């Protein structure tokens, strides 16, 4: 019984980690696409398939809302197993969660 609970807790922690990493990747991809479109507009650079990139951004908004609903539902169902260790622990982790990664700064 204890082994089963430990496996469930470990699975839940891994799932939360995957969800967090997925969110970070989504933010980077969306931010990069937006920056690419802005760059093309600012410097009059023709971006191939620009209309498709804009459509992807429109679709992404809907998908991110759906993902957030699913994550919220998952977290509510698993509140018993969640603990503070699943939350970001460092400023770097918090910056990634907010989309403030240094790799996209123009400093």
Summarised one tens digit per residue, pLDDT across range 36-81 is 999 999 999 999 999 999 998 888 888 888 888 888 888 787 776 5
CA distance 70 to 54: 25
Under a CB-based contact definition with an 8 Å cutoff, are residues 29 and 101 in contact? no
Q: 52-78 in b/e burial notation, b at 16+ Cβ within 10 A?
A: ebeeeeeeeeeeeeeeeeebeeebeeb
Reported pTM: 0.58
């Amino acid at each position: 019984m204890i082994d089963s609970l430990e496996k469930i807790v470990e699975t839940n922690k891994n799932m939360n980690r995957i969800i967090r990493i997925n969110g970070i990747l989504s933010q980077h991809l969306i931010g990069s696409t937006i920056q690419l479109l802005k760059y093309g507009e600012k410097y009059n650079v023709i971006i191939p398939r620009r209309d498709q990139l804009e459509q992807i951004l429109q679709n992404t908004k809907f998908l991110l809302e759906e993902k957030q609903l699913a994550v919220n539902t998952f977290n509510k169902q698993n509140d018993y197993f969640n603990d503070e260790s699943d939350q970001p622990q460092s400023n770097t982790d918090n910056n990634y969660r907010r989309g403030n990664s240094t790799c996209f700064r123009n400093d």
